[in-house]
């Protein structure tokens, strides 16, 4: 009597394609979220053009422009890290992700100082200074400014955490040329963060 042995295939728990599809779906929901906020901003700006212009003058365009430049540089460095990984250049990959990470920290530090100046001037949602001295349109502008830049800063923090995992993965060899998805997903997420800022910067800082 012949015995038939069935070999059970154990699927690899690591599926790069599904992780990438998951990241793209996540990015799509994030774009919907910020797209909705941009729409709200556009409606309020249309209704209060003068007030929005007056409020925008309070923002520091130089800091905003500097943050835009460093984020664009960070998009380049994380893209270069993926290329370095594909070439098997482990140390270069880690170095480039660390540079991207440090730029993200720099962005948050700049934002912290920028917000600090606003707080010193009594400008924050619900502050007595705003209620007594600003029009409804200006209050709306700063409300949207704090919500949207705050949400963006939160995304920066999440991006830094993801990069931290990617750095550890490359260092211990779990992220390598054959399994690059964690680093690629970190890059995709970081490009999303940059893209959102590229919209936020002109909306709030360059408004006329």
Instruction: Delimit the domains of the chain by residue range.
Output: 34-205
CATH of segment(s) 34-205: 1.20.120.80
d(CA 40, CA 96): 37
Q: CB under 8 Å to 29, separation ≥6 — which residues? A: none
This prediction's pTM: 0.87
Confidence at residue 122, expressed as pLDDT on a 0 to 100 scale: 92
DSSP-assigned beta bridge partners for residue 146 = none
**pLDDT for 87-105, tens place per residue?**
999 999 999 999 999 999 9
- Measured from the Cβ of residue 86, the count of other Cβ atoms closer than 10 Å reads 15
d(CA 78, CA 92): 11
- Residue 3 predicted with pLDDT over 90: no
User: pLDDT class for 38, splitting at 50, 70, 90?
Assistant: very high
d(CA 88, CA 44): 50
d(CA 66, CA 99): 16
Judge contact between 103 and 70, C-beta under 8 A: yes
| Mean pLDDT for the stretch of residues 164-179 | 95
**pLDDT for 42-78, tens place per residue?**
999 999 999 999 999 989 999 999 999 999 999 999 9
- CA pseudo-torsion sign 141, 145, 146, 147: positive
**pLDDT for 122-150, tens place per residue?**
998 889 988 889 999 999 999 999 999 99
């Amino acid at each position: 009597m012949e015995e038939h042995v069935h070999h059970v295939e154990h699927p690899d728990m690591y599926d790069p394609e599904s992780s990438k599809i998951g990241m793209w779906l996540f990015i799509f929901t994030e774009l919907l979220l910020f797209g909705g906020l941009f729409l709200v901003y556009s409606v309020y700006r249309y209704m209060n053009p003068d007030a929005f212009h007056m409020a925008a003058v309070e923002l520091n365009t130089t800091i905003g422009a500097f943050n835009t430049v460093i984020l664009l540089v960070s998009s380049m460095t994380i893209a270069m890290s993926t290329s370095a990984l594909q070439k098997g250049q482990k140390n270069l990959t880690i170095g480039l992700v660390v540079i991207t990470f440090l730029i993200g920290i720099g962005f948050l530090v700049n934002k912290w100082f920028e917000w600090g100046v606003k707080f010193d001037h009594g400008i924050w949602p619900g502050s007595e200074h705003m209620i007594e001295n600003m029009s409804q349109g200006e209050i709306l502008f700063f409300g949207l400014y704090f919500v949207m830049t705050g949400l963006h800063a939160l995304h920066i923090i999440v991006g830094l955490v993801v990069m931290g995992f990617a750095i550890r993965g490359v260092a211990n060899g779990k992220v390598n040329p054959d399994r690059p998805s964690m680093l690629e997903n970190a890059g995709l997420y970081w490009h999303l963060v940059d893209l959102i800022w590229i919209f936020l910067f002109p909306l709030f800082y360059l408004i006329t």
